[in-house]
């Protein structure tokens, strides 16, 4: 969930939630199911108190309602149903404290506050793996941010950015960022020239004009390939739940990937889905090294997400794409795989940092 600054200003004060809250809560529900009866379950509960893991999984997105330009006030009250349980004075103060600490300590790149940049990376699809230093990576991108959270949960020093002040805050962030890392368009990015042709920022040099902002600058048109996209003056008010909301123009490709179909919503996590997650092969070694590997797999998934897509020439600040007829089915299969992996991996990290 991210957008260029210009779009953010046009659309103030609305914002969208990555994976949509449902995807994040599905990931956390899978993890919670896998952790039942383990020592980690009790440790998580001790840290989070009456915040269940699926609510923790949306905390970092709800914190985007804290406005640095309005003295860190919470400006989204009542707007996002999933955030409602976090809208108490104490919980708003906790979010504001995190945002204040992580507002200006980074190189701002298209976002108005640093903490919003911790939710993604933009590795070019031409790369075969995630490696810090590639175009679109930062020490505080979603991979580096997860590393920070895991270090804090391990009780080790975490001197970099973002600043994570406590195991509780680390857990709130981890539960969200693991989900973001598995949304393919939060890791892999296509870079396009003015003609809509793919370019390689690591080989040709990074030209900001070629950035597609995780697919937020790519609008999905209906079957009429040549139909010009309407100028964007507003975001769909319901965010990722209905990215194609009537009257708000074509959805962004990013939103297509944030949305999950009804059958992947958190209340659909059942024994069969948990069994599927249990079959995945756990990571080995130090958990701080796991997010890099997960990112490489998300990059593979992003390559599939963009496979065969043809883009229009740039029109103003965006390109357009017409999706093939079978695209949704392909996307849903990838989403299911990524949600399952994310749930399993969130559980593995928590088991590793809370062994007893």
- Residue 18 CB, shortest distance to Zn ion, in Å, is 4
From residue 276, alpha-carbon distances to 229, 270, 272, 339 in Å are 41, 10, 6, 11
- Residue 175 CB, shortest distance to Zn ion, in Å, is 11
Which residues of the chain form contacts with Zn ion (CB under 5 A)? 1, 18, 61, 119, 180
**117 near 142, Cβ under 8 Å?**
no
φ/ψ of residue 176, rounded to 5: -90, -50
- Residue 42 CB, shortest distance to Zn ion, in Å, is 27
Measured from the CB atom, the residue of 91 and 119 that comes closer to Zn ion is 119
Q: In whole angstroms, what is the distance from residue 239 CA to residue 230 CA?
A: 18
Q: In whole angstroms, what is the distance from residue 213 CA to residue 57 CA?
A: 23
- Residue 2 CB, shortest distance to Zn ion, in Å, is 8
Peptide bond into 11 cis (omega under 30): no
Q: In whole angstroms, what is the distance from residue 10 CA to residue 4 CA?
A: 10
Measured from the CB atom, the residue of 181 and 321 that comes closer to Zn ion is 181
Measured from the CB atom, the residue of 22 and 180 that comes closer to Zn ion is 180
- Residue 82 CB, shortest distance to Zn ion, in Å, is 12
- Residue 30 CB, shortest distance to Zn ion, in Å, is 17
Q: In whole angstroms, what is the distance from residue 124 CA to residue 214 CA?
A: 10
> Which three-class secondary structure state does DSSP give residue 136?
coil
- Residue 114 CB, shortest distance to Zn ion, in Å, is 14
Measured from the CB atom, the residue of 1 and 124 that comes closer to Zn ion is 1
Cβ-proximal residues to 192 (8 Å cutoff; 6+ apart), any chain? 198, 199, 210, 212, 311, 314, 319
Phi-psi sector, 25: left (phi>0), alpha (psi -120 to 50), beta: alpha
Measured from the CB atom, the residue of 119 and 351 that comes closer to Zn ion is 119
Q: In whole angstroms, what is the distance from residue 295 CA to residue 144 CA?
A: 11
Please name the helix (run of DSSP H) or strand (run of DSSP E) that holds residue 74, with its range, or none.
Answer: strand 73-74
Q: In whole angstroms, what is the distance from residue 118 CA to residue 178 CA?
A: 11
Sign (positive or negative) of CA dihedral 276, 327, 212, 96: negative
Surface-to-core class of residue 6, CB atoms within 10 Å of its CB (0-12 exposed, 13-18 middle, 19+ buried): exposed
- Residue 63 CB, shortest distance to Zn ion, in Å, is 10
Measured from the CB atom, the residue of 210 and 338 that comes closer to Zn ion is 338
Residue number, nearest CB to Zn ion? 119
Measured from the CB atom, the residue of 119 and 314 that comes closer to Zn ion is 119
- Residue 302 CB, shortest distance to Zn ion, in Å, is 16
Measured from the CB atom, the residue of 117 and 296 that comes closer to Zn ion is 117
Measured from the CB atom, the residue of 15 and 348 that comes closer to Zn ion is 15
Closest residue by Cα to residue 107 from 139, 148, 144: 139
């Amino acid at each position: 969930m991210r957008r260029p600054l210009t779009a953010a200003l046009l659309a103030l004060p609305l914002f969208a939630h990555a994976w949509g809250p449902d995807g994040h809560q599905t990931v956390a529900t899978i993890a919670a199911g896998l952790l039942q009866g383990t020592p980690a379950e009790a440790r998580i509960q001790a840290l989070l108190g009456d915040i269940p893991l699926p609510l923790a999984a949306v905390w970092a997105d709800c914190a985007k309602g804290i406005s640095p330009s309005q003295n860190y006030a919470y400006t989204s009250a009542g707007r996002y149903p999933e955030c409602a349980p976090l809208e108490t004075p104490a919980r708003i103060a906790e979010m504001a404290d995190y945002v204040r600490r992580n507002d200006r300590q980074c190189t701002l790149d298209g976002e108005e506050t640093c903490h919003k940049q911790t939710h993604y990376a933009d590795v070019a699809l031409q790369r075969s793996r995630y490696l810090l230093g590639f175009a679109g990576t930062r020490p505080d991108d979603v991979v580096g941010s997860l590393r920070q959270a895991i270090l804090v949960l391990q009780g080790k020093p975490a001197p970099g950015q973002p600043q994570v002040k406590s195991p509780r805050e680390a857990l709130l962030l981890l539960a969200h960022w693991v989900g973001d890392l598995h949304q393919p368009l939060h890791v892999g990015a296509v870079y396009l020239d003015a003609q809509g042709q793919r370019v390689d920022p690591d080989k040709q040099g990074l030209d900001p004009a070629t950035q597609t902002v995780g697919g937020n600058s790519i609008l999905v048109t209906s079957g009429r390939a040549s139909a010009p996209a309407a100028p964007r003056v507003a975001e769909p008010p319901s965010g990722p739940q209905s990215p194609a909301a009537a009257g708000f123009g074509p959805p962004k490709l990013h939103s297509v990937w944030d949305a999950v179909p009804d059958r992947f919503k958190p209340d659909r996590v059942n024994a069969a889905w948990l069994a599927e997650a249990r079959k995945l092969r756990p990571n080995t070694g130090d958990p701080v090294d796991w997010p890099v590997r997960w990112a490489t797999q998300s990059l593979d998934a992003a390559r599939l997400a963009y496979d065969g897509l043809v883009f229009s020439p740039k029109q103003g600040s965006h390109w357009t794409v017409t999706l093939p007829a079978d695209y949704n089915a392909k996307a849903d299969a990838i989403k299911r795989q990524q949600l399952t992996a994310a749930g399993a991996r969130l559980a593995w990290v928590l088991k590793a940092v809370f062994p007893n």
